Each structure stands twice: as C-alpha cells, then as structure tokens.
Structure 1
Amino acid sequence: MMTERIMVERPWTFEELAEVTTGTWYSNTVSTNCLIEGVTVLAGQHQPNNLVSVRSSDEKGGLPLTVLKSLHAKTPVKYLMCTTPMMDEVSGFNLPILVVKNLTQAVIEIGTAARVKMRGTVIGVTGSAGKTTMTAMLAQMLSVYGSVVSTQLSANLPFGIAWNLASVKPSTDYAVMEMAIGNMLKNSKIVRPDIAVFTNIGAAHLEYHSTTEDVATKKSRIFQGMAPGGWAVLNRDMQHWEIVSQYAQAAELNILSYGVSGEADVKLIGYQTQTGQVDIELNGMPLSYHLTALGKHMVLNSMACIAVSSILLSPAASNNINLALEELNRFSAVDGRGKVHHLTIQSKSFTLVDEAYNANPLSIISAIDLFKTFPEKTTSRVLILGDMLELGQDSVKLHLELVPVIESSGADTIYLYGQQMKQVYECLNREKNHVFYFETLTALQAEILANLKDKSLLLIKSSNGMGLHKLVKNICDLAE
C-alpha cells in the first residue's frame, strides 16, 4: 500500500463547493480565481486560503461574527460561508460568500467529498480508551514514510471529522482519524477507512450505550464504511473480541491482531519497565525496540502501530520497519493522557503524571498500573482520582469495583474528589491507607501543595468534566 505518487495539488473550485453543499455563491470573483484549500470552523485552526464558516447566535458549525471580525483583523479572510439569515451581517466584508441551508451539514458534505478526492491511506481509530494517544502515535510513526495528517482537538464525531478531512490535501499519504462511538455509522461513511484500529472495549459512555456488548456492536459499525479486502487491526485481549472480529469478518476484512494472547499476530513477549525495552513477535518474527512513553498501555498502542506498519510495508521493504521502531521510541504522551512533567516548587522536585483528560474503568486501571511500575525512584507516591463520568446506571458499581485496584496501587497517599469517589472513599480501608476526600478543587490543591515532598510522584486521573485538568495547570504554573 506504500507507493510513490505524483499528484497535482488542486484547491476547491467555486463550482465544486456549490455542488457539494447545494449552496449558492454571491461574488464578483470568477471561479478560476478560487484557491480554497480547507474549511475554518475554529479561529485557532484557520489557514489563509480557508473557507470560513460563520454562524448566528442560534446556529452551530462556525465562528460567531465577533470572532470573525477579530480573525479578519489579524489574518485577512478571503472566503465566507453562511446561511441566508447571516447574509446581511457578512455582506460588508465584500468577500465571496457561499450561502447554504445548514452550516453543519455543509461542512459534513465538504469533508465527505474531500475524502473521495484523497488517494492516500486512511486509518480510522476507535476504542473505549486510548483513541487520542493511538491516533497521535500512529501519525508520528507514519511520518517516517510520508506526509501525514491526523485528527486535531480530538474532534471525533461527524462534524469534527468532516472539518478535519475538509482541509486534507488529496495527495496526503496518510490520514489518521479518531472515531467516536457516537454516530459511528455516519463517521465510517465519512472516513471510509482503509484500515480500522481498535484499542479496546470497556465500560465507557454507558450513559448512552447501556452495556459493553452494545459498545462493541456499535463501535463495530466502523467496518460498514470499509471496502472488502481492507484491514481490521484488533486488540486480541479486548473484551468482546468475538463480537468485533465477527463483524470484521462479515465485512470481508483481513484481521491482524495484537496483544498478550498467544493467538495474537503481534504478540507481546516481554516489557521491562525500568529500561523501556519491548520484545514482541510479528507473525512469528522476533522484534525488540525501546519506548520512552511509559506503561503497558503504551506498549500495546505501539504494537498496534507496528501491525499497521506491517500492512503498509511491502515484503521487499520489510527492513523499513526499523524506521517505525525508531520513531515509536521518540513518541511522548500528550497532555491529559499520560504526559509526564518534571517540576520544582519551593525547592521540592517531583514528577507529575497528567491523566486528567478522561477516565473510565479501563483507563484508570491502566493509569494505576503505570503508577505502580513507574521506573523513577521516589520518596512518596500520591494518587489523585476524580469521578469517571457518563457511566450510566452502573456508575456506582463501576466506581466501587476500583476499591481493590486502588488499595493495591502502592500509593502512600490517596486523594479523592467527586461524589462517586466519595463512595469509594467510604469503602477504602482508611486505617491501612492514607486516604483523604475533598469537596472542592481549591481544598485539594492546598492539601497537595502543603504536603508535597521532594522526589515524590503524583498521578492525577479523572474525567475531563471533573476539572482536574485545572489542577494540573495550576501546579505546572506554580513550578519554578
């Protein structure tokens, strides 16, 4: 699948965008002068030749007028898209305006059309935990083989996927798209992956998807947008392997598995936490490499990446797998998902592991496993946990199932925050463990700083909605 291609980069024409969106242009500029190369729905991702989507206060799918004015003052905008009610508001910019019926649907249509224009390999990533890290790791590894784009801002629902794809050049070698369970069938029809990667299946978003069987079934809809003969890279150890693999087979896909299981195609043989050395077998061939990113979950991610690499590489180019292994070693965890900070506050040096972006039982167990095996020598290990959100009617049960995991974490001190974690607090053995519960982030932060020890390890893990990412930021901001 890795082939050299010579392609002409052709921007969107007025005619194409009008046809794709069923919209109408209002402009004195002829279509041959059109140089639209993408779509802007957020000011921070704007590029000079993008079509800027502008929304009213009661619409979704674009920039508010005030943000447009600010953006235009800094970086002159060239093309606008809006609905009819906004025409009078934006006409004063004297720019070509594409008027559409619905901004959200227009962006989705542009993204879908952009995928059709692509000639590179598109990889879709899904799973209950670790999607964003897997996407980032895959993109970094693939950069040694060609041009790569990947999902920005974890925008993994139809609208976000579409605006990511809308700015992809047709000649891009690889696109790695994160795909959420929500509207998965629609996500798959937009992305149309050549390769689908599953990280795992577990208890996540059960507020909307009642059982883990439902999660496995709905996530397997990723295969419905794929052509027969494509590839499914699946975690052989994941819950409901049978469900997911059967759906992949029904879609006439090739399956390449990875994991600890002896039945895995990419099989973990050993992992040394102190050195980061990983030993695996790839279809029976031994491979050894090193990872800077810490934790067994990172090892499994890297194995999925190697599986993808083996699909893309022709047998004659098999030595190029070493390029992938070297790049994987350079990968570092991203903010909120295991990023390691080495900080000093009031002459006390310590390590902070930031896992504050998301949490479900799978990811908390992985984080605590990292906490237990963290390779640096420490004087104190502090575990800070907030609630796991969106777990539905089983939320209390799933939180309480963490009690033995927390008690065996090896933590010297445990700080808990959130209503669900309060119930965990009440079930922990407080005579054996130094456990504290906090009603506010302010009180939690004060306690952490007051008892901070030199050469200590802090791990912060919670769902993003609990706000512990603010605690991470505050601590980092206080560092010398």
Structure 2
Amino acid sequence: MPNCFWTPEVLKDLLNGSWFFFPDQYGWDPGYVTVKSVKRVNPQFRGDKINIIRRSGEIEKAFEEIKQSKKRGGCIIIRDIFESRISNLLKLNLPILLVPENGALVDMAKHRRTAFNGSLICVTGTAGKTSVRGMLHAILSSKYNVLQNRHNWNFKDHVFEDLASLATDAEFVVLEVGLGQKNVRIAEIVDVLKPNISILTSIGVGHMDAIESTASVEDELESVFSSKIEIFNSMVNDSFAVIPSNIVMFDNVVNVLKDSVQEYETVGSQKTDSVKLLKREWSDEENRILISIDDINYSYSISAPGEHMAINSLLAVNVAKKIGMSVSESSEALKSFKSRSGRASLIKIEDCVGRKVTIFDGSRNSTPLSLKSAFDTFDEVSKGYERIAILGEVGEFHLGENMESYHRELANDVRKVNFDKVFVMGNAMKFFVEEYPEAFYFENFDDLIDKLLLDFKGDCYLMLKASAHMKFKVLRDTLINRLKN
C-alpha cells in the first residue's frame, strides 16, 4: 500500500516481538491489516497484507489463502506460543513476527490513532449510517485524502483494521460503527477511535442480539438509545457532534450532548436547526433539495430518493461546512454519490417482451426504522405505476420478544402504500399473512418468481426489502436474469 505507516522496527517495538525472518530479506510493502473474527464477514489473508493470526485454527487457513494470493510485501504476526506449529507458514517465504500477547490489532489501532494528526469522524445509527458515511466520503474526498470503511464492514475488528491500515498521507477518516456484536459496546470502539466529530443518524428498534432484549418496544428503544449515544464517549478536545432534529428521543440525546461534547448542531425542518430543510421533491429521477444555512438558501440534487436520504445529506453537508468546505463544493461532490447496492437503490430494466420494470432494491438489510422509510420512499417514486412488494422477514437484527407482534403490525404499514400485490417469504412473515391474508407466501425463490412473472402485465415498480439472512440479493439477481431472458 502506498505510504504505509508501519515499518518492521515500529511493529517489533510496539508489539514487543521478534522477527523470525526479517522483512529486509523479502521486501516491505504491506497493504491492509487483516484479522479473522468469529461471526463476521472476513477479508482474506494475503501475502501483501499484515496478517494477524490470533487462534491456532487460523494457521492452516492463513497458509492456504496466502499461498493462493501469490502476492508479497506483507508479513505474518502470530503468537509465540504457536511457534512450533508454523512449519507450513515458513514455506510462504514471508516475514513472521512472533509476539507474546494476542492484542496486536488493538495495540496497532491505538498507536496509529495517536500518530494521526487529521480528523476522525464516527457515524452510527439504527439506519442511515452507511449512506451518511458514503455522502461524507464523496464530499471530503473531492478535496482531501480520506479513508472510509471497507465495504459495509462496521464491527469492532473491522474499524480497528481500517484505523490500523491508515496511510501516512490520510487527512480524514470516516468510519461507521455498528452495533451487531454480542457483548461489544460502542464505548469500547470509540475509546480507541477517539473521534473529533460524531454523527448519530437515528435510533430505532433493532440489534436485539447485541444488547439485552426486553419485553416492550419502549424498553428496547431505551436499550438502543443507551448503546448508540456511546458514540459521543471519548471524543477529543474541540469535539463536534451533529444529529437530525427528528431523531427519536431527541431531548434525551441533547441532554447527553450537553454533557459530552464541546459543540453540537442539529439538522432538519425545525427553525432552530443549523441546516434547515425547506423543500424536497422527487422529480426527473432526482431528489431535489432546498436548504437554508444562516438565512441563505441553497439548492442541490442527489440521485438517492426519499426524505430520509435528504436528511442524511444535510448531516453530511453540515459536517463538511464545519470542516470548512462550502455548500457549493459539497453539492457538486454529492452528484457522485449513489446508494449502495441493496440499500434503497433503483434498478431500471426492460424485460424480454418490452415491459419496463424498476426494482427498488432493499435486499441488503431491514429494520423497522429502515422499512418505514422504504415504504414512504417507494410510495413517492412509484406513483402512477403498478406496485408489487416482495418482502422478507425482519430477522437479521433479532427483534427479541417483539418478533411476532412487529410482523403482525407490519400489515398496517403495507396497506398504507396500496400495493397491487404482496409476495412474502420467511417464517416470521407467516404472522404477517395472518393479518394480511391477501399476501402470497412462498417457501423458495423460484416459486415466487414464477408467480410474479405470471401476474404483472405492464410497466411496474417492484419493492424488494428483507434482512440479509434472507439472501434477497440472490432473489434480485435471479429475477433480473429471468426478466431479461
């Protein structure tokens, strides 16, 4: 990786290790820092990375993945208690650093944060964090060298890898922090990250697998609130925070901000907001937005539909303004922003018989909060067309004891959109069907697609929305292939 921060000497001294092979013998040009974690999406070990092996079961996996990568320039960091088991690793002809402790990743992240003179921005929220992070990256990277999360990875090890991999020429870091690991608090993560700027996008029910699940929605919201506001912990001097004024438990959040940060601002449609949303409309495939800052009006457009996306853009514009970028610079940079695949993106295709189909793709995730925003947005963009919903259960975030009641109540929200047809999958959606008997329930993708292709006649909008475990990405890709062929 160009401008790599790490040298063999710094790693050796920091981790109190000893080189089995010294890097000078093999060349030194490492890329990202990489570890393996339980129950998360893991990057591959590669010969051009700093590969940290923390468990004995990872030794053979590291050997196979690095061998297949056929790349060099990196190294392996491994506990010295595994020295007798590294005979295969020696065949890779990579430098190996033997270390006495298992905390190499945390130590490297802390050391890199201390050495970093730029600004670190943290983003969290039940919904919207990936979009806000992407918008901020689009704006800041138009002028500065900026690091953001790889892919949609936002667990503790993910963000520590990103921070430890920070190049020497980076000026800003924008990291979203998720709440998806059991027994891992956001406070643990920001204690290492030490943000200069923190953004809380939203608070809603979800992630009950990561925090204590209780019987009532109110108690669950309180649990999410207490977890998400930890994003304001451990902030450095001259700290700044921004939140939307329509956030759930707004007064509670503000009380925390008053005690935690030096300065905070709000964005939204209230008179007291620093960035005020005056008007918004979806027109000609654009989300046209009119805002006011210090009584001066500005207009810009983004390709992502929905009011929630407009609010997300206000959060990004507000932070950019605080950093010193003009609204015109931000609005120009936002033209390059596009919703990530599976996160309320629009896919337009023409099928093999000439019918025009627009897929509102929410296949990546689903929470009660994101689903409500998706319904509102779909209702806006699909006016005048046949509307078909394909919904999977909201289970990725484990709604706890409210799993059944939520899926039953979902019927009320679906009726408000006036779908022409509703297709559903997933065990929890059986509760939904009891409240919405006109829905079609399916056990597999092929049967659902067969029924769909028989039922719609002309141009239409399809809404796909489900939690990731439902694998609606496969459904989406299969459906597109069937439509085109």
TM-score by length of 1: 0.88
Q: Deviations over 1:193-219 (max 9, x none)?
A: 111111100111134343111211111
Structure 1 gaps, min length 5 = 1-7
Distance 1:249 1:45 in 2: 43
Q: What is the distance in 2 between the residues matched to 1:131 and 1:122?
A: 15
Which residue is 1:109 aligned to? Answer: 107
Q: Distance in 1 between matches of 2:142 and 2:91?
A: 46
CA contact (8 A) 1:157 1:183 kept: no
Distance 2:107 2:476 in 1: 38
Query: In structure 1, how many angstroms separate the alpha carbons of the residues matched to 2:408 and 2:269?
Result: 27
* CA pair 133-252 structure 1, distance change in 2 beyond 3 A: closer
Letter aligned with residue 79 of structure 1: C
Q: Give 1:45 deviation, angstroms.
A: 7.0
Q: 1:293 aligns with which of 296, 301, 304?
A: 304
Aligned to 2:331: 325
Q: Select the residue among 231, 246, 249 that pairs with 2:240.
A: 231
Alpha-carbon offset, residue 111 of structure 1:
2.2
Q: Partners in 2 of 1:337 and 1:91 — Cα distance?
A: 43
Query: 2:207 maps to what in 1?
Result: 205
- 2: distance between equivalents of 1:438 and 1:102? 51
Q: Report deviation, 1:366.
A: 0.5
After superposition, where does 1:121-140 map in structure 2 within 5 Å? 121-140=119-138
The Cα of 1:305 is off from its aligned counterpart by 0.6
Q: Equivalent of 1:426, from 426, 429, 434?
A: 434
Partner of 1:79: 75
Residue matched to 1:23: 17
Say yes or no: does 1:473 pair with 2:442. Answer: no
What is residue 5 of structure 1 aligned with on the other side? Answer: none
Q: How does 1:351-370 map to 2 (within 5 A)?
A: 351-370=358-377
Match of 1:279 in 2: 290
Quote the Cα distance in structure 2 between the aligned partners of 1:213 and 1:56: 36
Q: 2-side partners of 1:393 and 1:101: how far apart?
A: 44
Structure 1 459/11 Cα, relative in aligned 2: closer, same or farther at 3 Å?
A: same
Q: 1:363 to 1:29 in 2, by over 3 A?
A: closer
> Do 2:109 and 2:161's aligned partners in 1 also have CA atoms closer than 8 Å?
yes
Please state if 1:192 is matched with 2:200: no
Alignment partners' CA distance in 2, 1:237 and 1:366: 13
After superposition, what is the alpha-carbon deviation per residue over 1:160-197, rounded to whole angstroms, capped at 9, x for unaligned?
A: 11111222113312211010134201110222111111
Letter paired with 2:152: S
Match of 2:227, SS state, is: helix
The answer on whether the counterparts of 2:29 and 2:73 sit within 8 Å (CA) in structure 1 is: no
- Measure, in 1, the Cα distance between the counterparts of 2:402 and 2:158: 29
Deviation at 1:49, TM superposition (A): 4.7
Q: Which residue of 1 aligns with 2:269?
A: 260
The unaligned stretches of length 5 or more in structure 2 are 37-41, 214-219
Counterpart for residue 88 of structure 1: 87
Whole-Å separation in 1 of the counterparts to 2:414 and 2:408:
10
Counterpart AA for 2:393:
D
CA contact (8 A) 1:11 1:35 kept: no
Structure-2 change in CA distance of 1:467 and 1:32 (3 Å): closer
TM-score by length of 2: 0.87
Residues 56, 65 of structure 1: 8 Å contact kept = no
1:97 aligns to 2:96 (yes or no): yes
Q: Distance in 1 between matches of 2:347 and 2:440?
A: 24
Alpha-carbon distance between aligned partners in 1 of 2:25 and 2:109, rounded to the nearest angstrom: 20
Q: Which moved more, 1:125-134 or 1:282-291?
A: 282-291
Q: Distance in 2 between matches of 1:15 and 1:367?
A: 51
CA contact under 8 A between 2:363 and 2:466: conserved in structure 1? yes
The 1:32/1:247 distance shift into structure 2, 3 A limit, reads: farther
What is the CA distance between 1:44 and its match in structure 2?
6.0
- The equivalent position to 2:410 in structure 1, one of 391, 395, 402, is 402
SS of match in other structure, 2:233: helix
1:251-301 C-alpha deviation (Å, 9 max, x unpaired): 233111112233322221111112522111224332211121111111011
> Letter of the aligned partner of 1:345 in structure 2?
D
CA–CA separation in structure 2 for the residues paired with 1:152 and 1:35 = 20
Match of 2:174 among 173, 176, 180: 176
Shift of 1:226: 0.5
The amino acid that maps onto 1:193 is P
Matched, 1:436 2:443: no
- Distance of 1:26 and 1:167 partners within structure 2: 23
* Correspondence 1:299-378 to 2 at 5 A: 299-313=310-324, 320-347=326-353, 348-374=355-381, 378=385
Helix, strand or coil: the match of 2:273? coil
The Cα offsets for residues 93-121 of structure 1, whole Å up to 9 and x where unpaired, read as: 23210123566x32232222222222222
Query: Does the aligned pair in 2 maintain the 1:11–1:36 contact within 8 Å?
Result: no
Equivalent residue of 1:416, what SS? strand
Shift in Å, 1:421:
1.6
CA–CA separation in structure 2 for the residues paired with 1:376 and 1:16: 60
The code of the aligned residue for 2:277 comes to: L
In the TM superposition, what is the alpha-carbon distance from 1:63 to its structure 2 partner? 5.3
Preserved CA contact (<8 Å) 2:391 2:466:
yes
Aligned to 2:159: 161
RMSD over aligned CA atoms reads 2.6
1:361 aligned partner, one-letter code:
P
